[in-house]
């Protein structure tokens, strides 16, 4: 295989359409979609990808019908619990991106424990974006900077690197490859700052059907590209 991206970000889309195509309720799609995250984590690890970031729930997704939001939250809670063993077995360091204050306290506690317990694992850095929106992330960053201004931060100290260090992705390299499943070709408020030079890969395959073979296709397509960063 050609060059492997260091950081792959994925917009997990199409759970609902996948379920519908099978004559099943949307929530079945979410259940199978959550299972697939596990498969793709292992596949990334095997392929030598160091960072994987998945978009699991956006700040806009709260607008979905109540029972769907409840079902997704329940799934995410149980997923986070299984993550403790998953992380241990696969040498995964887990981080959650997004506004934890908007989540229920029980979930927040699980996240903080999970991050603490897995922080020294170095095989795969796995980020889950949950209650995440890029605009919200930037607003939260600016608010924290404003606080630090009161503590002495000067205007001249503000640089791109410095702003990046206020984002949820602090310390994580920018994605090399962004994959969106299920045919839509938009960012839906995901990693706007971080994707400045990311290569995009879109596929019609719905998320629950996006397997290791599909991931390999995406990585191969990336390997064939000539990456440029604004120069000649």
Q: Which of 7, 27, 34, 57 binds ligand IPE (CB under 6 A)?
A: 57
| The three-state (H, E, C) secondary structure of the chain, written as one string | CCCCCCEEEEECCCHHHHHHHCCCCHHHHHHHHHHHHHHHHHHHHHHCCCEEEEEEEECCHHHCCHHHHHHHHHHHHHHHHHHHHHHHHHCEEEEEECCHHHCCHHHHHHHHHHHHHHCCCCCEEEEEEEEECHHHHHHHHHHHHHHHHHCCCCHHHCCHHHHHCCCCCCCCCCCCEEEECCCCCCCCCCCCCCCCCCEEEECCCCHHHCCHHHHHHHHHHHHCCCCCCCCC
- Residue 188 binding target from Mg ion, ligand IPE, none, CB below 5 to 8 Å by type: ligand IPE
Question: For ligand IPE, what does the binding mask look like between residues 59 and 98, x meaning CB under 6 A?
Answer: --x----------x--------------------------
Q: Which of 8, 56, 93, 219 binds ligand IPE (CB under 6 A)?
A: 56
Rounded Cα distance between 137 and 141, Å, is: 6
- Residue 55 binding target from ligand IPE, Mg ion, none, CB below 5 to 8 Å by type: ligand IPE
| 13 sits near Mg ion (criterion: CB under 5 A) | yes
| 26 sits near Mg ion (criterion: CB under 5 A) | no
Which among 7-15, 149-157, 214-222, 223-231 is the span making contact with ligand IPE, rule CB under 6 A? 7-15
| 168 sits near Mg ion (criterion: CB under 5 A) | no
Rounded Cα distance between 119 and 171, Å, is: 13
| 177 sits near ligand IPE (criterion: CB under 6 A) | no
> Is 13 a catalytic site residue?
yes
Which among 11-19, 100-108, 197-205, 214-222 is the span making contact with ligand IPE, rule CB under 6 A? 11-19
| 58 sits near ligand IPE (criterion: CB under 6 A) | yes
Residue appearing with tokens 């924290």? 144
Q: Which of 5, 8, 14, 92 binds ligand IPE (CB under 6 A)?
A: 14
Residues in touch with ligand IPE (CB under 6 A): 11-17, 55-58, 61, 72, 182, 184, 186, 188
Q: Report, as residue numbers or ranges, the catalytic residues.
A: 13, 61
Residues in touch with Mg ion (CB under 5 A): 13
């Amino acid at each position: 295989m050609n060059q492997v991206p260091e950081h792959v970000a994925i917009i997990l889309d199409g759970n609902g359409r996948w379920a519908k195509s099978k004559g099943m309720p949307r929530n079945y799609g979410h259940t199978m979609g959550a299972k697939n995250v596990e498969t793709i984590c292992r596949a990334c690890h095997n392929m030598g990808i160091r960072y994987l970031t998945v978009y699991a729930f956006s700040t806009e997704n709260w607008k979905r019908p109540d029972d769907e939001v409840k079902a997704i939250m329940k799934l995410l809670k149980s997923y986070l619990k299984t993550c403790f063993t998953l992380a241990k077995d696969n040498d995964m360091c887990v981080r959650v991106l997004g506004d934890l204050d908007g989540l229920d306290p029980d979930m927040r506690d699980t996240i903080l424990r999970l991050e603490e317990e897995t922080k020294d694992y170095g095989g795969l850095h796995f980020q889950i974006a949950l209650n995440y929106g890029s605009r919200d992330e930037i607003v939260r960053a600016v608010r924290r900077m404003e606080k630090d201004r009161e503590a002495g931060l000067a205007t001249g100290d503000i640089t791109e690197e410095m702003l990046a260090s206020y984002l949820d992705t602090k310390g994580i390299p920018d994605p090399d490859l962004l994959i969106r499943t299920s045919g839509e070709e938009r960012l839906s408020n995901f990693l706007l700052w971080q994707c400045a030079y990311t290569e995009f890969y879109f596929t019609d395959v719905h998320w629950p059907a996006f397997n290791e073979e599909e991931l390999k296709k995406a990585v191969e397509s990336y390997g064939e590209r000539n990456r440029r960063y604004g120069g000649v």
